[in-house]
Amino acid sequence: MLKRATKLFIVFILLCSILATRIVYLASSTDLTQAAQRQSSYTLTLSTQRGGIYDRNFNNMVNQTTKYVAVVFPDPSCIQQVLDLNPELKREEIAEQIQQGKPFLVESKKASSNHSSIQVFPVSERYRDNGIAPHLIGYLNGDGEAVCGIEQSYNELLQNFTSNYQITFQLDGTGNLIKGKEMEQTIQGNSDGGVVLTLDSGIQELAQKIGGQSIPKGAITVFDVKTSQIVACASFPTYSQNDVAASINDENKPLINRSLYTYNVGSTFKIATAATALEQGISPNYSFFCPGKIDVKGQVFKCHHLAGHGSLNMQQALEKSCNPYYINLALQTGGNAILQTASDMGFGKELELASGIVAAKGTLPSTDDLKNPAELANFGFGQGKLTANSFQVSGLLLSVLNQGKLVQPSLILGTTENGTDLIEPTQAQPPTYVMSEETASILKEDLILALKGQDTEGLKPKLTTAGGKSATAQTGTYDENGVEICQTWYTGFFPTEDPKYVITVLVEEGASGNDTAGPIFAKLADAITLYEQK
């Protein structure tokens, strides 16, 4: 009997030892400790903010708009006050949330509430309704996934810099909220990092405002002359990143970035023809008599001034935009030489601004095409098979203003980890030598005189000096009234003493380059001049 009792005692001691060891293990287990902590707290995420998209001055172009989120505590007496904050909510849904016994979030249209069971917090919203550069920045869908633009190009980087604004509540052992216990507010992660663009958000907003007032369909691009960096890029009509669905079925197609599309070029291309002629040794004083038309192997090309311009030199022909003069010049230089100049200037080549953001290459006539004198004649003044985008048209001036060298336009400065310092700066591409410095100098002066000689109302800036060239590009298509549809351009620079910016304006289906696109150039040049003075 004693032996049996002793054995039972020993077994009992062993079982107690095993149980004690297990309790110690459970108490010290990190996973279980964390699980216990989770069970005793409840966290709500007020907002999730991904990395920034900065302009060249490190102004964040996203995450700068405030919206409001209300934290509603489980109190049936606050239902009406919740509805007052957001009338779009349904009473039944709020009541059901309250019955669950935990705090919950609702979007608030107001900045505060006077009910003790409701607290309203300001949080950042990704986009404002009239967003900055929406066609370049792109947007996120309803699930927070990047769809296009810089958002998609740098999606991984921007996701890596995500931050969450959270509030945590303490719960009792039954999982109910402990009243009177302060909630803890925390920010998890860092959203200061992101991508830095070449845009100037102030100039971008000016371009969007002025273009929005004057351009039904078209684009404005602004470039830094010294670097060819894109300072502003606006497409019209625009759209709201907060309501993309409203634009999907719009017949004007506001989601299209028209700066990336190609159009008929017209007379701005006369700059390339003139550059080719000067490089071949043709004098800028070369004279040609314009009778109002020119016969090319039996095909007659009319001048827009049917009475004719009379005797002109190269600068006068650029100012008057005389087609017969430039057709004659093209016949002298030959098509292949102009084709090479155009290619060096970027015509006929895609331009990738960022992954997935590509300006279409447009079209150039082939060498076989240009064996046809009529095709060469069209090419000489920017018609025929030639099409180009805003960046290529701007390249005409960028190459002239940089002493004959062209650096391809760029959009990305680099990335940042803190929103104030640039890391991994993008390396500029080596320049292409398009023409001699002497040729560039002659053309710059011709473009200054070309604008000075115009009498179109509002074409010349009032606050700065400028030069430039217009175009009214024929498309070969006609409207229901039998009137030919034209694409109108103005590409210009300012100030003339030390050119800082090139602005290219495209207006689809405009009246003429001088009348439609030119005044927009002048107005924006003045606005940028005032902006920089301030």
SS3 sequence, 284-324? CCCCEEECCEEEECCEEEECCCCCCCEEECHHHHHHHCCHH
Average pLDDT over residues 90-96: 96
| Mean pLDDT confidence for 205-223 | 98
Percent of residues, the chain, with pLDDT higher than 90: 85
pLDDT band at 32 (very low <50, low <70, confident <90, very high): very low
Q: How buried is residue 141: exposed, middle or buried, by Cβ count under 10 Å (0-12/13-18/19+)?
A: exposed
* Ranges 20-29, 156-165, 345-354: which has the least confidence: 20-29
Side chain identity at 404, as an amino acid letter? G
CA atoms within 13 A on the CB side of 76: 4
Q: 14-18, 50-54, 95-99, 259-263: which range is least confident on average?
A: 14-18
3-state secondary structure (DSSP) of residue 74? coil
Per-residue confidence (pLDDT) for residue 291, from 0 to 100: 96
What's the pLDDT at 268? Answer: 98
Q: Residue 19's pLDDT band (boundaries 50, 70, 90)?
A: low
pLDDT at 175: 63
Query: Higher model confidence: residue 487 or residue 171?
Result: 487
Band of the pLDDT at 35, cuts 50, 70, 90?
Answer: very low
Does residue 504 register a pLDDT over 50? yes
User: In sequence order, what DSSP letters do the residues of 198-241 get, joined into one string?
Assistant: S--HHHHHHHHHHHHHH-SSEEEEEEETTT-BEEEEEEES---T
Report the DSSP beta bridge partners of residue 289.
Answer: 311
pLDDT band at 429 (very low <50, low <70, confident <90, very high): confident
Output the pLDDT for position 534: 86
Q: Is 294 exposed, middle or buried (0-12, 13-18, 19+ CB in 10 A)?
A: buried
Return the beta strands (E) in 20-109 as ranges.
41-49, 52-54, 65-72, 104-108
Rounded distance, CA 238 to CA 226, Å?
29
2 pLDDT above the threshold of 60: no
Residue 136 clears pLDDT 80, i.e. is over it? yes
pLDDT at 4: 58
| Residue 18 confidence (pLDDT) above 80 | no
- Residues 208, 189: Cα–Cα separation, whole Å: 33
The pair of structure tokens assigned to 179 is 């009243």
- The reply to whether CATH 3.40.710.10 applies to domain 201-533 is yes
Mean pLDDT of 319-342: 97
Count of other CB atoms within 10 angstroms of residue 107 = 13
Question: CB burial class (10 A; 0-12, 13-18, 19+) of residue 36?
Answer: exposed
- Residue tagged 């689809």 (tokens): 508
- For residue 291, cis peptide bond before it (omega within 30 degrees of 0): no
pLDDT surpasses 80 at 233: yes
Instruction: Give the residue carrying structure tokens 């004659």.
Output: 328
Average confidence score pLDDT of the chain: 92
The contacts of residue 118 (CB under 8 Å, 6+ apart) are: 70, 71, 72, 73, 78, 81, 82, 85
Calculate mean pLDDT across residues 11-39. Answer: 52
- pLDDT-derived band at 310, boundaries 50, 70, 90: very high
